[in-house]
Structure 1
Amino acid sequence: MDKVAIVILNWNGRRMLEQYLPSVLQYSKEEATIYVADNASTDDSLAFLRASYPEVRLIVLDQNWGFAEGYNKALRQIEAEYYLLLNSDIEVTHHWLTPLIEYLDAHPDTAACQPKLLSIFDKDRFEYAGASGGYLDRFGYPFCRGRIFETVELDNGQYDNVADILWATGAALMIRAKDYWAVNGLDGRFFAHNEEIDLCWRLRIGGRRIVCIPDSYVYHVGGGTLPKSNPMKTYLNFRNNLTMLYKCLPDSELATVMRWRWFLDYLAAWETLILNRNWGDFKAIYRARRAFKKWKKDFEADRQQIQSQRQVEKIPEQKDFSLLWQYYAKGRKLFSALPL
């Protein structure tokens, strides 16, 4: 059994693998076994890996299962104490694995952790997808130490302490295998987007800790699969976020939050149409609301199971304030300015 299995999920990512896999091999092969799980790519990713990197272990999936179920199917074929889910567009650094491994070894109450995520295009700035660890506001909007909505901070060491977080980025997520499977892994129905937040939230409900370890840092391209303004990405984000809220919110909060989200989601749809003239995202939000309503019943059993296993009624990393109000009305655009 591997101590650490680094698993890169690939779909038509030959260019990313060619550029960033060398750093993973250079700085990780002494401490981890490196896998690439291929989601039925139609480019020459597999031929490239077999010819150039025979030391990388390949898992070939029969179709594009998406991020969530793709990882589930790949990880079922790997025996390891720790999984490290790593995007193909990550450049890692010298000794990046050591702080992550040492922390999990020393803290059995911690299920998962992430390194500090910096932008590969501006290495002094955090990267959008996870920065220095993630949180949620009262209404399910995610934010990070170092990133709130589109405001991404410079890294001046202000978030270099180890911190408990609600969610660790799926771009570079280290997790105990036993914890991963104890909550049935990522929700494959999500396909992509919000799946790591959902996974980490379920672990926190069960009393497990999630942390950011900034002594470890990596550089992330970001947006390697879909551009930021993309109707499919908008659709998946809204649909999956609503589903995650339905699964994970306690009974005392569910009805109120869902009423507010009905209003806020349709407000967002009309804002994107009127102010940005973005017809694609407008339709995507309406489609997402309809899709959530249609498949909500499929998650009733999930909700009951999650709530029955609740060990933490009020999770500190899910904040009571509205991030929209703090950001747009109060002008608080930095993590340090929030009423934490």
Structure 2
Amino acid sequence: MKKTTAIIVNWNDKDVISECIQSLLNQDRPEIDIIVSDNGSNDGSIDFIREQFPSVQIIRNGENLGFGSAVNRGLSAAKGDYLIFLNSDLQLDPKCIGILARFLDSDSSVGGAIPKILYHNQRDTINSLGVLINYTGIAYPNLLGQKDPGHLEPFESACGGIFMLRREVYVAVGGFDEDLFLYHEDHDLSWRIRLAGWKLKVNTNAIMYHHYHFNKGIRKLYYSEKNRLHILLKNLNLKTLVIISPALVLIEFSQWIHAAINGWFSLKIKSYFEILSLLPRIYLKRRGLKSLRKIPDSEIIRIYQGTLAVSGIQNPLLTHILSPTLDIYWKLIRNL
């Protein structure tokens, strides 16, 4: 049986991390090591973990490095053949890791497997079945807030942030991009995994429960927008970027309006300067991806969406103008 290492990222999460760790200890699959990669917590959570869960290994990063960088630090101590990365506000069903591991055992073409994520306080309601991504790079949870349909056959998806990977896959694609401090780092890792020829699957028999809170704060919007552009510039070929550029211009224009109305226009402009400062690094990353790339852009983005229907955001301009326009253009270009 292959060994599994779980890496939990903690940042002042004393109130919820106990439940997460205990759910890992309660798994029906033996040989699970648990590592907590701590991003400079000052709420007493580290002392609490040491006292309550002495078998858990703790890596202290000293400051908030973001999710991806914290996972990369945790990997330095990981010994498992399978790696599972998760935030501290999750509770795993006792069979979750075993189901995902056996799924990976059964199909060597699958590089990573993702569980079905339900709301912690509404356990018949979906938080995420993977992630839907519009071809302009905007990502959102699949089936957020809808009733759990029960069993579904595993299906291909971009990852949803909490997933199990083969160790060799994680190492081969270079782990998380540490230039992506918060948000979309899972989207980027997912993209590179599929670029290298592996599949990502959602296995709906594996279940997690999430203490979910929808965040519309401007800090999230800033990081999401900056990282969205970063990922597109890094991972898409120049030809693809040129083809989708009219849609990207439309999205940018709509984001300017949204930013101006909602008080984060200066942060939107700041995101452009951040991207400009990162262009030399992005160029080097693009060169590095040439040796990794086994799958063309057309195959990568075939599961992406033409429409844009972000759960939690109800806007008639989005629903009746922006989304249909993006979809029409997508139908025109997707086979080019």
User: TM class, shorter-chain normalised?
Assistant: 0.7 to 0.9
With normalisation by structure 1, the TM-score equals 0.85
- Report the counterpart of residue 190 of structure 2 in structure 1: 200
Q: Contact 1:137–1:319 (CA<8 Å) still a contact in 2?
A: no
Offset at residue 320 of structure 1 (A): 6.3
Post-superposition Cα deviations, 1:158-198, rounded to whole Å, max 9, x if no partner, equal x7220012x2122x210111111111100011111111110
Shift in CA distance, 259/297, structure 1 to aligned 2, threshold 3 Å: farther
Offset at residue 241 of structure 1 (A): 0.9
Q: How does 1:257-276 map to 2 (within 5 A)?
A: 257-274=244-261
Question: Structure 1: which 5+ runs fail to align?
Answer: 334-338
1:283 equivalenced with 2:266 (yes/no): yes
With normalisation by structure 2, the TM-score equals 0.86
State the percentage of identical aligned residues: 24
Which amino acid in structure 1 is aligned with residue 299 of structure 2? I
Shift in CA distance, 2/101, structure 1 to aligned 2, threshold 3 Å: closer
Which amino acid in structure 1 is aligned with residue 64 of structure 2? N
Residues matched between the structures, number: 319
Which amino acid in structure 2 is aligned with residue 256 of structure 1? I
Distance 1:137 1:319 in 2: 9
- Report the counterpart of residue 162 of structure 1 in structure 2: 154
Which amino acid in structure 2 is aligned with residue 328 of structure 1? T
- Report the counterpart of residue 106 of structure 2 in structure 1: 106
1:153 equivalenced with 2:149 (yes/no): no
Which amino acid in structure 1 is aligned with residue 95 of structure 2? H
Offset at residue 289 of structure 1 (A): 2.4
Post-superposition Cα deviations, 1:30-61, rounded to whole Å, max 9, x if no partner, equal 34112211122112011101111112222222
Offset at residue 13 of structure 1 (A): 1.0
Q: How does 1:1-340 map to 2 (within 5 A)?
A: 3-27=3-27, 30-127=30-127, 131-147=128-144, 152-157=145-150, 160-165=152-157, 167-170=158-161, 172-223=162-213, 228-274=215-261, 278-279=262-263, 281-313=264-296, 314-315=298-299, 318-319=302-303, 322-324=306-308, 328-329=319-320
- Report the counterpart of residue 328 of structure 2 in structure 1: none
Q: Contact 1:204–1:315 (CA<8 Å) still a contact in 2?
A: no
Distance 2:8 2:309 in 1: 37
Post-superposition Cα deviations, 1:230-281, rounded to whole Å, max 9, x if no partner, equal 222111100011110111112321123345324312312313533xxx21x3
Which amino acid in structure 2 is aligned with residue 6 of structure 1? A
Post-superposition Cα deviations, 1:280-306, rounded to whole Å, max 9, x if no partner, equal x33322222232133222210111221
Please state whether the residue corresponding to 2:147 is helix, strand or coil: coil
Shift in CA distance, 319/328, structure 1 to aligned 2, threshold 3 Å: farther
Question: Structure 2: which 5+ runs fail to align?
Answer: 311-317, 325-330
Q: Contact 1:138–1:318 (CA<8 Å) still a contact in 2?
A: no
Please state whether the residue corresponding to 1:323 is helix, strand or coil: coil
Please state whether the residue corresponding to 1:113 is helix, strand or coil: strand
Distance 2:21 2:163 in 1: 17
Q: Contact 2:194–2:300 (CA<8 Å) still a contact in 1?
A: no
Please state whether the residue corresponding to 1:17 is helix, strand or coil: helix
- Report the counterpart of residue 336 of structure 1 in structure 2: none
Shift in CA distance, 306/221, structure 1 to aligned 2, threshold 3 Å: same
Which amino acid in structure 2 is aligned with residue 132 of structure 1? L
Distance 1:261 1:12 in 2: 37
Shift in CA distance, 65/143, structure 1 to aligned 2, threshold 3 Å: closer
Q: Contact 2:5–2:32 (CA<8 Å) still a contact in 1?
A: yes
Which amino acid in structure 1 is aligned with residue 167 of structure 2? A
